[in-house]
Amino acid sequence: MSKLLNESLSLQVAQTIKSQAKKPFENAYKALLVTDGAKYVQGFLVLTGHPYKPIEHAWIELEDVIIDPSFAYLQRKAENIWYFPAQVNPEQLKSDYRRIRRGLSRR
């Protein structure tokens, strides 16, 4: 069974970290730093509407829920968002975050 998005916790964490539009990876990383016991997750999400195009995204997971600090910017109800995780190497995450902070492309 896939994990469900916790809307209220997502909005609370977003406010705490001062979440920014179009920065899901940075938002998730900052959320990880302020949420004890959470796990950083990169993957894809799919929103309702056509076409069903996967979007690269990041969020955190805490126990059995998804916390998405970028949720407010998706402009969808939680039941209209599907999350698909991919595995991430922690060292790659650190490297990617440093590049994001310097404004460099991942490629």
pLDDT at 1: 46
Burial status of residue 88 (CB atoms within 10 A of its CB: 0-12, 13-18, 19 or more): middle
pLDDT tens for 18-57 read: 999 999 999 999 999 999 999 999 999 999 887 778 999 9
| DSSP letter string, 17-61 | HT--TT-HHHHHHHHHHHSTT-EEEEEEEEESSSS---EEEEEEE
Q: How do strand 39-47 and strand 81-86 relate by DSSP bridges? A: antiparallel
pLDDT tens for 50-82 read: 777 899 999 999 999 999 999 999 999 999 999
DSSP 3-state of 93: helix
